[in-house]
Amino acid sequence: MEKVSFGFTDVSPQEKTHLVGDVFRRVASRYDLMNDAMSGGLHRLWKDDFVRLVQPKTGEHILDMAGGTGDIAFRLAKYGADVTVADINPAMLEVGKKRAIARSIHNLVWQEEDAETLSFDDNVFDAYTIAFGIRNVTHIQKALDEALRVLKVGGRFFCMEFSQTKWSGFSDLYKIYSTHIVPKIGQILANDEGSYRYLVESIERFPNIEKFADMIKTAGFVQVRARPILGGLVAIHSGWKV
């Protein structure tokens, strides 16, 4: 029987989808606060960088996949792009919609979608973005295949995800921080140690930069590149559909 990883535990694909759904339902209302707390606000700078690399243009149609509470979409929309925020989890989308209203951003389309089986036609988006989402998807290769399908010829793919830093001293520090401190912050701020333990474990189980780049190539993208941040703790992967 097929097994996939849910953090350090191997489970059936159906169980993983269900458990990941539970995690993001539980964390939705505290998700943005926790991102700031866990990264010391750094995730904001990484997201700014990510969107700069996308180079969104006015009128472009961009799919922000696993868009959650809208952080990437809000940035893309500032450039005048038409953005569809898609996520499998309605609780995350609900928080995002409220945040958009509070920011007076009214031109986003919010849509419940599974990255593995998108409801969109072929060749419709100029760019596809996914930030800190793909490691939560049950069948990553299927999501990459779908990204290629929905992009127009000439469309750009961008994925930001955690990876393993190659800075050795920093790597040891990060290991202590992520294993011992992040779940405690989760416990204190969100009363939910388990969800934050999963988030850390899922980072460790995610393929390294080279292996993930191969998966992007297998989907059919060309000009596949990875830009490491903090020695590869985070990486921005990109590719083109031709």
Ligand X SMILES: C[S@@+](CC[C@H](N)C(=O)[O-])C[C@H]1O[C@@H](n2cnc3c(N)ncnc32)[C@H](O)[C@@H]1O
Where along the sequence are the contacts to ligand X (CB under 6 A)?
A: 20, 24, 66-68, 71-72, 87-89, 92, 113-116, 131-133, 136-137
CB 45, min distance to ligand X, A? 13
Cβ proximity to ligand X: between 113 and 201 the closer is 113
Cβ proximity to ligand X: between 11 and 166 the closer is 11
Q: Was 126 annotated as part of a binding site?
A: no
CB 108, min distance to ligand X, A? 13
Cβ proximity to ligand X: between 143 and 209 the closer is 143
Dihedral of the alpha carbons of 97, 101, 106, 110, in degrees to the nearest 10: 0
Cβ proximity to ligand X: between 48 and 172 the closer is 48
Is residue 69 within 8 A of residue 25, CB to CB? The reply is no
For residue 130, give every residue at least 6 positions away whose Cβ sits within 8 Å of its Cβ, in sequence order, or none: 64, 65, 66, 115, 143, 147, 158, 159, 160
CB 169, min distance to ligand X, A? 27
Q: Was 114 annotated as part of a binding site?
A: yes
Assigned token pair, 162: 């955690």
Q: What is the spatial distance between Cα 203 and Cα 237, in angstroms, rounded to a whole number?
A: 16
Q: Was 143 annotated as part of a binding site?
A: no
CB 242, min distance to ligand X, A? 25
Beta strands 4-6 and 9-11 are antiparallel
Q: Was 10 annotated as part of a binding site?
A: no
Q: Which residues are annotated as a binding site?
A: 69, 87, 114-115
